[in-house]
Amino acid sequence: MIKRLVMTLCFLAAGTTASAQDPYNLASPVRNLSTLFHDLFGPRGLIVDSEATLPGEQPHSAHFTSNFQFNFNQFNTALVNQLVTVPLPSPASGFTYEFDASVGVFRRTTQSFGPILSERAETIGARRVSFGFAAQHFDFDAVEGLDMGSVPAVFTHDNAQLLGGRQDVVTTTNSIQAKVNQAVAYVTLGVTDRLDISLAAPVVSTDLTVVSDATIQRLGTTNPLTHFYRQSDGSIGTRRLFTAAASASGIGDFIIRMKGSVVNKPAASFAVGFDVRVPSGDALNLLGTGAPGLQPFLILSSTIERVSPHLNVGYQWNGSSILAGDPATGQSGDFPDQVAYAAGVDLSAGRLTLVLDLLGRYSIDAERVRTEDFHALDGQSVFPNVVFSTESFNQLSGATGFKVNPFGRVLVDVNILFALDDNGVRDRVTPLIGFEYAF
């Protein structure tokens, strides 16, 4: 990625921790993770020149820009939307109880231990408590089917329509590595036999690494001193590689969940729920959304011998967030709303429950990116480039895993989440491991 080029392409990143590799780097540190890309590209444009380096050369001002640069906030929003809304494990207890007044004791109401990333209608039971912990690792590798290790971007000269040397362009191949580790602690309290209150508290670690391979395409100049990169050995050339990395860790957005059972029968159970997202995570370092969120949802589940199907649907209202606006200037924008849905089944086998889920998310008026050819002004040269748009789209994922009861009221959860389409920013395979305890 690129902020500016003064003798060289400037590339330096700074988040909570940061490093850069370029002895000729004159860039200022990036302010935080959310502005990492914006600062690397920079509002002042891309510079490729010999300013203050060779005697007799006319200094240049910033004069190379790109659609990628001007619209990168859209790409940033698309990326962080996925980074900070990764699916949380369900806080619902694997053990559910109901007080039997005829004998004066609690009895289990389900044999299945329930789903992992979705919900079932049954509640934990009055005065019962469960808590758990789950860890997930996300390694995002594609955006809209485009390999994030090879994102093209073309930078053009200001006033390129005047032709001459202004026909030169800078082509870049950019690698974006985005990794998120999320550890979630959660607790559920049974207020009554039909009402649960849960709290999920994530701790998030986000790592971003960006690498840009930049090449000056001489389409209108022949003088090697007009536009060039200063190499590490002091020579000049038309190509150079730049690398930077930054990371941040801290608490994420807390989720408060209320779930109430409306109908509780083995043949058909129905519940309503309500999530409140508290923007407690540091949005500027991509640890949270920066926006409050409200999500009402419906749950339908059933038990047929050892088979327990379930269906969830909800609508996520999101508030205003700096991540949906311009983190560089502090301007906020509306974070995209989403429709979330899930359908799955639990298969109970004594101390083991197998879980299968289909998880969907429909993002409304969200940012998208696609590739298209850039046709240079020389009428011959064509280079790959990226363009941006705002539209609604659907993401579909599958999940499979199991819960096992090794002893007592302890459960161990293992799950794999996998992408079923190319929409949005995707991690192909996401592992999860956790445990639960109820008392």
Q: What is the pLDDT of residues 90-99, one digit of tens each?
A: 777 666 656 5
Q: Which residue has the higher pLDDT, 86 or 371?
A: 371
* Mean pLDDT to the nearest integer, 370-397: 90
Q: For the residues of 249-291, what is the DSSP string, one character each?
A: EEE--EEEEEEEEEEE-SS-EEEEEEEEEE--S-GGGTSS-SS
Q: Which residue has the higher pLDDT, 40 or 364?
A: 364
CA–CA dist 257, 276 (Å, integer): 6
Of 2.160.10.10, 2.40.160.40, 2.115.10.20, 2.40.10.10, the CATH number of 67-438 is: 2.40.160.40
pLDDT at 2: 30
Q: What is the pLDDT of residues 37-76, one digit of tens each?
A: 766 665 444 545 433 333 333 444 446 665 555 555 566 6
Range from 82-86, 180-184, 378-382, 383-387 carrying the lowest mean pLDDT: 82-86
Longest dimension (CA), the chain: 98
**Which ranges constitute the DSSP H helices of 58-186?**
67-70, 72-83
pLDDT confidence bin for 107, thresholds 50/70/90: low
pLDDT confidence bin for 132, thresholds 50/70/90: very high
CA–CA dist 388, 411 (Å, integer): 45
pLDDT at 64: 65
Q: Which residue has the higher pLDDT, 313 or 389?
A: 313
Domain ranges in the chain?
A: 67-438
Q: What is the pLDDT of residues 151-201, one digit of tens each?
A: 998 888 777 777 777 888 888 898 888 899 999 999 999 899 899 999 999
Determine the length of the chain.
439
CA–CA dist 102, 173 (Å, integer): 71
pLDDT at 108: 57
Evaluate if residue 117 carries a pLDDT over 70.
yes
Evaluate if residue 280 carries a pLDDT over 90.
yes
CB-CB neighbours of 273 under 10 Å: 20
Q: Which residue has the higher pLDDT, 401 or 122?
A: 401
* Block residue for tokens 């690129």: 2
Range from 204-208, 223-227, 316-320, 366-370 carrying the lowest mean pLDDT: 223-227
